[in-house]
Every structure is written in C-alpha cells, then in structure tokens.
C-alpha cells in the first residue's frame, strides 16, 4: 500500500462527522471527548489549545477523561510571556502529560517575515506561516482533533456543530453548546488558575501585536485584531490538510 492509498484508507475508516454530530449533539463535554477517544484512539487524537483565558476549562475536562491525550500549543513567536508561563502552570496543575509546543519553521520566517512586521502588513499571511502551516504539520499524525470554540463567541463560531469534517480528519468541538456561565462554573469548581492577563483587562489573549484590552460592554474577542475586519486566524476557517 503506498502513502496515498494508506491515507485514503485511514480517512475512509472514520465514521461520518454528521452521524457523530447527531449522536453527540446534546452530550456533555466529557462525553464528547470520551467519544472522540473511542472513535480514533489516543494515538490518533490531539487537543489544540492556545492556553488562553478560557483554555483551562477544556483542559480540565480533558484531563479528567485522559491527561495523556496530546495537547498541541502553537508558539507563534509573538506570544505574551504570561501565556508561556500559564502553559507551564496548567501543565503542573492539571497533570497534562503530553503538551507539544510547536513553532513556525525558521526557514519560512526568514524568507517571508525577516523584519517581523508581517502581522501589520499582511496579518492573514502572518497567521498562515505562524499558525496554520505549523498546525497542519503538527496534526499530520492524527485522525481527529479537539478544540475549545463556543457558539456564544459569535461571528463564524455562532453555529458550529459538535463534530465536523475537517478534510483529512474529524474535528470535535466539546464546548460548542457550553455557556459562559458553565465555563465559569468549571473554573470555580476546580479552582482553576486564571491567565495572568485577565486581571489586567484582557478577556481574550492571542499574539501580542494583535491583542488589546476590552471594555466591559465589548464582546470578549473584540480585542483581537482590533480595527481590522479579521476575526479568525485561519486554523478554524480552512480545512487543515
């Protein structure tokens, strides 16, 4: 069997996303993660986390199901020091056993962003080389991935299903149905540590140049790419091949 045949046969062995979505539409986040594990097995399942302001809730639920599920963290080279420290805090607090920090390819950075100003001149290209392409490489060994998007975040996230087809693999959204209050309850129940920047007024945290504080009457993601039409980095708006 050549590489292409092997890939097609492994993709076709996966159950259809819409069938899984129907079965898991009203399932709890833990049940969704357990179903993802059962569907593809731990070696083929990864959770992608930004270690942002709400990430601890999903990581806590995952750790209760299986703390050895691989966690992929995209270290873009533009993250706040506080986010890197928070990653290490949560690894220790939750007992995460397999967190993989993924960096962009040095060769691509020196060719396409030698002056580190691409975030300003062309943020879509910057997200492509610092997030989308590294994630595509990191996901290659996996048949399914889990992420923490919520419908209450609005925009492109307002009607995400619980399970979707992401091209070469399945994508599980265990928090699709979850409310802001339920996430707060997970934080309170487990006494989860907060991202250090929440106290300074950041409700959503991404890369330094593209993140600003939000006011009380703003949407939690309003501080991301402020002043631009952009609301997503691309890892959720294109199929990761």
Query: Residues with catalytic annotation?
Result: 233
**Angle 172-162-191 from CA coordinates, rounded to 5°:** 75
**Region of 23-31, 94-102, 152-160, 203-211 interacting with ligand SF4 (CB under 6 A):** 203-211
Longest Cα–Cα distance of the chain, Å, equals 57
Q: Is 106 annotated as a binding residue?
A: no
Give CA–CA dist 7/214, Å, rounded.
Answer: 44
Contact set for ligand SF4, span 16-75 (CB under 6 A):
none
Q: By CB under 6 A, name the one of 20, 90, 96, 233 that touches ligand SF4.
A: 233
| Residue 209 contacts ligand SF4 per CB under 6 A | yes
Q: By CB under 6 A, name the one of 207, 223, 236, 240 that touches ligand SF4.
A: 207
* C-beta separation of 140 from 167 below 8 A: no
- Comparing CB distances to ligand SF4, the nearer of 60 and 128 is 128
Give CA–CA dist 201/18, Å, rounded.
Answer: 39
Q: Is 126 annotated as a binding residue?
A: yes
Give CA–CA dist 45/31, Å, rounded.
Answer: 15
Contact set for ligand SF4, span 148-187 (CB under 6 A):
none
Give CA–CA dist 213/21, Å, rounded.
Answer: 35
Q: Which residues bind ligand SF4 (CB under 6 A)?
A: 76, 78, 119, 123, 126-127, 130-131, 206-207, 209-210, 233
Which residue numbers belong to the known binding site for [4Fe-4S] cluster?
126-127, 207, 210
């Amino acid at each position: 069997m050549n590489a292409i045949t092997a890939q097609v046969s492994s993709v076709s062995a996966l159950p259809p996303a819409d069938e899984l979505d129907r079965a898991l539409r009203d399932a709890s986040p833990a049940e969704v993660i357990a179903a993802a594990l059962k569907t593809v097995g731990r070696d083929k399942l990864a959770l992608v986390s930004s270690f942002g302001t709400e990430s601890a809730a999903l990581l806590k639920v995952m750790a209760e199901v299986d703390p050895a599920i691989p966690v992929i963290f995209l270290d873009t080279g533009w993250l706040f020091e506080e986010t890197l420290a928070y990653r290490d805090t949560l690894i220790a607090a939750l007992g995460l056993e397999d967190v993989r920090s993924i960096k962009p390819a040095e060769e691509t950075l020196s060719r396409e962003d030698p002056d580190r100003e691409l975030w300003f001149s062309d943020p879509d290209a910057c997200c492509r080389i610092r997030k989308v392409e590294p994630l595509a490489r990191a996901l290659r060994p996996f048949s399914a991935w889990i992420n923490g998007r919520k419908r209450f975040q609005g925009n492109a996230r307002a009607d995400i299903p619980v399970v979707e087809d992401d091209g070469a693999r399945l994508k599980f959204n265990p928090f699709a149905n979850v409310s802001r209050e339920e996430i707060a309850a997970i934080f309170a129940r487990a006494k989860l540590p907060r991202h250090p920047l929440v106290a300074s007024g950041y409700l959503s945290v991404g890369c330094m140049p593209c993140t600003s504080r939000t006011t009380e009457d703003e949407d939690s993601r309003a501080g991301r790419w402020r002043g631009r039409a952009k609301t997503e980095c691309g890892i959720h708006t294109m199929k990761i091949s």
